Structures are given as C-alpha cells and as structure tokens.
C-alpha cells in the first residue's frame, strides 16, 4: 500500500482503440505489472533462458486472461506516479464494462478517453463520453492513440482532436477541462516519456498529465453507507455481512440499521484483510459482526447505515436517465431491472416527466409519451420490491444506477429525489 493520495481512474473509449494496450503500457512503465504475470514470466523465461521483461509479454497475458473471461480483479490494476497512487476502476474489455462503469463510476473522478488516430470518434466513444459526463467525471485526458499508424502526422492528430472537441461540446463537457495528448500505447510514445516522433507537440505525457490531476475530493461528512454484497455464517463468530464502505465510518460499538430489511443491532467486530480493526472508512472492504442478527435477517442489496440516520427506502424516486440503447421505445408501465449499488430490483416507469435536450440539458418536452435511444429524460420509477436509493446530490454513491433489460444495459441514471 502507498501513502500517496489515492485516485480512481476510468479508461474509456471505443473497442479496439487501445484501452487495454494503454493499461498494459502504464503498468509496464511504472513497474506495476501484476505479480502473477511476473511470476508466470519468470518461470517461462527460466525455461527458455530469457532475461529482461517484455512489454509484449504483459500484453499477451492480459489479453489471454480477458479471452478466458477471467475477471481480472480490478484492485490488481494499480500504479504510482510521483504524487498519486492510481487504481483503474474497470478492466477494459470486460463484458460488463458499461454496467460497471455506471455502478462504479461514482468512484472515478477522472478518465482517460482513448481515441484511435486512424478511426476517430466512434459509437462507443460517444456512449462513454455521454456516460462520463452524466456520472460526474471531472477531468478527461484525451489520448489520441495509434499515432504510429498515421505516421505521427500532426494533421491527423488535429483532425481527431477537433472531432473529439465537437463531441465534448455537444455533451457540454467543458473542453477546458480536457487535455489532448498524441500517443502510441503500443510503441510507448508520450506515455511515460516524451516522444521525438511528435516533435510538433509540446504538451505533457500521459503520466505527467495524470500526476498533474487535481487532488481527490476530500471525504464528505456523509453518514455511513455500506451496501451488503454477501452474508456469511462463520462458526464462533456468527453472522458476518460483507461489503464496501461507500461513505462514512463503521466503528465497533456503533448501532447500525440494515435497510430495506429493517433490522438493527450493535457492531461487535469489524474485520479487514483478515485482521480485526476498530474502524473502517470509505473504500474499505469489510466483514463485520452485529449482535443479535441472523443470516436470514439481512441480504445482499441491503445497505447498512447509522441507526439514527438509516438509509432511505424509496416508495418511488425521480431520476435523470440517459437511454443508451433500446430496440423500440420506453413508455410508462415498462418494468426493467435496476442495478443500484449491490441491489437488483425490478422497477416500473410510473411516469415520464420531462424529455431533455441532450445537448443543452434544457427541458425539450413536458410529459412525453415515450423516450428512445439517445434521449435524456426525467422519469419517476416505482421499485417492485423495497429498494434503498438516495439522491446523488446527497450521497453520490447511492444515487447512480444502471437500467438493464434483455441482458443489456439500456440506460444509466442518477437519482434526483426520493419519495419515502
Ligand atoms: P481495446 O479494445 O480498446 O482495449 O483495444 P486493445 O488495447 O485491445 O487494442 C486493439 C488492437 O490495437 C490490438 O491489436 C493492439 O495491439 C492495437 N493497438 C493498440 N494501441 C496501438 C498503438 O498505439 N499502435 C498500434 N499500431 N496498434 C495499437
């Protein structure tokens, strides 16, 4: 672990534009290649009498793991710059990339948008930028990748830069908050070291730019919110719910309430990385034991909070959504599944309240009859089973969600207000 300030970083962009290659390059250049890959390499290198460590090897192995469908533990994708300690919040190429981006995006304040110089803005470039903006990504570093493929041409770079600028303006991402860097993730140009191939470029490298990001937002004074991932029974201890602290502190002796299950009790022990601790804070994965609570009293999808300020169970809630894909149109009565924190609950579109202009965010139509792919809207949703959600303005971590249907993410949203 590092004592530098921690930053969560999302790597976004169209398929094949070079996200994984950039991640591999960043891990390689910062000496942070996952341990198991190094070990595997050492074994193979020994048998073949090779020395040194090869970038190609890292890439092959990351690619192989992806093909095998192995969910690379995102926590393993870490690297340091001089000032910060970075965790990549999602693995590019992951099947649930978009969904994870939505449910996990509240954790990322910054993103690197990868756009291939030989392809320019493509459908997922738009989709990801749209999501990033909806979900509150603050800073965007635009990596114009595969510069080697376009012979490091300044014109090609400027052309793609202009396309991306137009896109950012369309979704009202302040272009002042974005920086542009011509790179080759594959060859290493302008990732860790300034490239002589782009002598016309006088800006920073990717690593310099990451190092220059604003400090992470200070922890809020939001109350404890701990979505439950699993509930175990451990002999000698009892019922142990596990999950990640999103906001606030969990301390032994505190009285916590689980919602929507509506049970509460006193925290006896808190465990982190197999060690007992007195308290845990935002980002900590914990298991804890609560006096008098049985395995069947609580479940995945519950959220733990202070007994005096329990998580809010929504009767209905109003949300702003962006429809990414839907084969037909969404009308009132439609009931897809909402994925919010660790919960998955069917929710009915009770009313379509407003259609928004996706460019300006202004109201384009009151009470529209339907919304379709590409639309932004304000809607009222009614969970079919009790669900904890909270306005994203109050507790961002409990205010963003994905709407899934037919095995696809059809929309992303954030909670505006909750009717208890
Ligand atoms: P992802 O789908 O966005 O993660 O893209 P990948 O990282 O898997 O890259 C897609 C393909 O483009 C792979 O064959 C890479 O080797 C190649 N690629 C990625 N970056 C570069 C680059 O900077 N230059 C060249 N020539 N190829 C690249």
pLDDT in tens, 125-184: 987 887 777 666 778 999 999 999 999 999 999 999 999 999 988 776 666 668 999 999
| Least confident piece of the model among 28-42, 44-58, 230-244, 362-376 | 44-58
| Least confident piece of the model among 32-36, 197-201, 265-269, 395-399 | 32-36
User: Model pTM greater than 0.80?
Assistant: no
Query: Which structure tokens are listed for 290?
Result: 């609560």
Query: Which structure tokens are listed for 161?
Result: 């830069």
pLDDT recorded at residue 65: 65
Helix (H), strand (E) at residue 154: helix 154-170
Q: From 132, 144, 140, select the one nearest 97 (Cα to Cα).
A: 132
194 alpha carbon – ligand 1 mean position (Å)? 20
pLDDT band at 72 (very low <50, low <70, confident <90, very high): very low
Known binding residues for GTP: 13-20, 90-94, 145-148
- β-pairing, 78-80 vs 110-116, is unpaired
Distance, in Å, from the CA atom of 354 to the CA atom of 417, rounded to the nearest integer, reads 15
Distance, in Å, from the CA atom of 335 to the CA atom of 57, rounded to the nearest integer, reads 46
127 alpha carbon – ligand 1 mean position (Å)? 19
Known binding residues: 13-20, 90-94, 145-148
pLDDT recorded at residue 246: 87
Q: From 261, 366, 380, 383, select the one nearest 315 (Cα to Cα).
A: 383
pLDDT recorded at residue 61: 73
Judge if ipTM > 0.95: yes
- For residue 20, give the 3-state DSSP assignment: helix
In ligand 1, the atom with minimum distance to the C-alpha of 149 is 26
Residues of the chain with pLDDT > 70: what percent?
Answer: 86
Distance, in Å, from the CA atom of 171 to the CA atom of 412, rounded to the nearest integer, reads 15
Is there an atom of ligand 1 within 6 Å of 122 CB? no
Is there an atom of ligand 1 within 6 Å of 18 CB? yes
Which residue among 10, 16, 91 has the greatest number of ligand 1 atoms within 8 angstroms of its CB, and so is best to mutate? 16
Protein residue whose Cα sits closest to atom 14 of ligand 1: 16
Distance, in Å, from the CA atom of 268 to the CA atom of 265, rounded to the nearest integer, reads 9
Distance, in Å, from the CA atom of 72 to the CA atom of 95, rounded to the nearest integer, reads 12
74 alpha carbon – ligand 1 mean position (Å)? 20
Protein residue whose Cα sits closest to atom 22 of ligand 1: 146
In ligand 1, the atom with minimum distance to the C-alpha of 13 is 3
Which residue among 18, 19, 147 has the greatest number of ligand 1 atoms within 8 angstroms of its CB, and so is best to mutate? 18
Is there an atom of ligand 1 within 6 Å of 17 CB? yes
Is there an atom of ligand 1 within 6 Å of 16 CB? yes
* pLDDT tens by residue, 353-396: 999 876 566 789 999 999 998 788 999 999 999 999 999 888 87
């Amino acid at each position: 672990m590092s004592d530098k300030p921690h930053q969560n970083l999302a790597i976004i962009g169209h398929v094949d534009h070079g996200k994984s290659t950039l991640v591999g390059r960043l891990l390689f250049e910062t000496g942070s290649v996952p341990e198991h890959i190094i070990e595997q390499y050492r074994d193979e290198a020994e048998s073949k009498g090779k020395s040194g460590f090869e970038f190609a090897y890292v890439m092959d192995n990351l690619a192989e793991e992806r093909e095998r469908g192995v969910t690379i533990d995102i926590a393993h994708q870490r690297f340091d710059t001089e000032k910060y300690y970075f965790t990549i919040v999602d693995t590019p190429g992951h099947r649930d990339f978009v969904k994870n981006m939505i449910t996990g995006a509240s954790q990322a304040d910054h993103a690197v948008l990868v756009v291939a110089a030989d392809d320019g803005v493509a459908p997922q470039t738009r989709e990801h930028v749209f999501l990033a903006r909806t979900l509150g990504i603050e800073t965007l570093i635009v990596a114009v990748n595969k510069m080697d493929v376009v012979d490091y041409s300044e014109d090609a770079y400027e052309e793609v830069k202009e396309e991306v600028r137009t896109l950012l303006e369309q979704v009202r991402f302040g272009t002042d908050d974005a920086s542009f860097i011509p790179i080759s993730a594959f060859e290493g140009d302008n990732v860790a070291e300034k490239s002589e191939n782009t002598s016309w470029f006088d800006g920073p490298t990717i690593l310099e730019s990451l190092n220059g990001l604003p400090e992470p937002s200070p922890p809020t004074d939001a109350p404890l919110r701990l979505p439950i991932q699993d509930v175990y029974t451990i002999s000698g201890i009892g019922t142990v719910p596990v999950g990640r602290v999103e906001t606030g502190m969990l301390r032994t002796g505190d009285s916590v309430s689980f919602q929507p299950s509506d049970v509460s009790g006193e925290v006896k022990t808190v465990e982190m990385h197999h060690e007992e601790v007195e308290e845990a804070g935002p980002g900590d994965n914990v298991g804890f034991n609560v006096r008098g609570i049985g395995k069947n009293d609580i479940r995945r999808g519950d959220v733990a909070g202070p007994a005096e300020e329990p998580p809010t169970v929504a009767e209905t809630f109003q949300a702003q959504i962006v429809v990414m894909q839907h084969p037909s149109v969404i009308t009132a009565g439609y009931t897809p599944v909402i994925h919010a924190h660790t919960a998955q609950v069917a929710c009915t579109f009770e009313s379509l309240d407003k259609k928004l202009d996706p460019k300006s965010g202004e109201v384009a139509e009151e009470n529209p009859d339907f919304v379709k792919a590409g639309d932004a809207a304000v809607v009222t949703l009614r969970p079919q089973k009790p669900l904890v959600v909270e306005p994203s303005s109050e507790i961002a971590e409990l205010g963003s969600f994905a709407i899934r249907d037919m095995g696809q993410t059809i929309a992303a949203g954030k909670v505006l207000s909750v009717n208890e």
